[in-house]
Amino acid sequence: MKDEFQQEQDLIKFLKSDSYRMNILNAVNSIEKKELWIAGGFIRNLVWDKLHNYFYRTELGDIDVFYFDNEEIDKEKELEIENDLTQLVHNVNWSVKNQARMHLHDDNQPYKNLEDAISKFPETASAICVHVDHNKNFTFLAPFGLKDLFGLKIIPTPNCRENLKTYNQYKRRQLKKKWTTIWPLLEVEI
């Protein structure tokens, strides 16, 4: 298997070769109210599609846009950013969340920063965020690295393993998402 640096380079290449995703990244990058990151299926599905040699893009239910601001935690700011993004790219289901308040939704202790928040995601292959700055430099937050994503492995995060409620949600999520039907090379740890 490739090392972390090469996996990151491959991920950048995958993103740059996908005009749809680059359009999304450019729209998010143009919002100057907060430092915004994209996570979830935006990255995960892209890699799994490429590793399955799919010539089409697996549809995304929404685009998860995250930021971390513990000074301004009202949902109104999230909705404002969603509206701004909709004005830029209107055929997208935007989901903007300030991760500084999401611990309340997830029954966790307050998160320290964005990386701490995404480390609480259900599976390691989803716990990855990308940010593109104005110079078109890519930055990734991946507290568990990229090996499970590129290894086609769905593995619960440590937080998920330690919390029975979260672990049960993880198991239900695997059934609901039907990822192994879409990407048959995946290995799921239950």
pLDDT for 73: 86
pTM across the whole model: 0.94
* CB neighbour list of residue 140: distance below 8 Å, 6 or more residues apart: 8, 11, 128, 129, 130, 131, 146
90 is a domain residue: yes
Whether 157 is covered by a domain: the verdict is no
Mean residue pLDDT of the chain comes to 93
pLDDT at 106: 63
Which residue(s) pair with 141 in the sheet?
129
pLDDT at position 108: 73
Residue 184 lies in a domain: no
Please check whether residue 188 lies inside any domain of the structure. no
pLDDT of residue 32: 84
CA distance 121 to 174: 13
Radius of gyration, alpha carbons of the chain: 16
| Residue 52 within any structural domain of the chain | yes
Rounded Cα–Cα distance for residues 48 and 52 (Å): 6
What pLDDT digit, counting tens, does each position of 82-115 carry?
Answer: 999 999 999 999 999 999 998 877 667 889 999 9
H runs (alpha helix) in 31-178: 41-51, 75-88, 102-106, 114-118, 147-150, 158-162, 164-177
Split into its structural domains, the chain has a count of: 1
Start-to-end CA distance of the chain, whole Å, equals 23
- Residues 175 and 172: their CA atoms lie apart, in Å, by 5
Quick check: is 163 in a domain? no
How far is 146 from 150, CA to CA, in rounded Å? 6
Q: Which residue has the tokens 């993004």?
A: 85
* 69 within 8 A of 37, measured Cβ to Cβ: no
CATH of the domain at 85: 3.30.460.10
Structural domain containing residue 85 = 4-151
pLDDT of residue 1: 74
Residues of the chain with pLDDT under 70: 106-107
Give the number of other Cβ atoms within 10 Å of residue 63's Cβ.
23
| Residue 67 maps to a domain | yes
Backbone angles phi, psi at 37, to 5 degrees: -130, 150
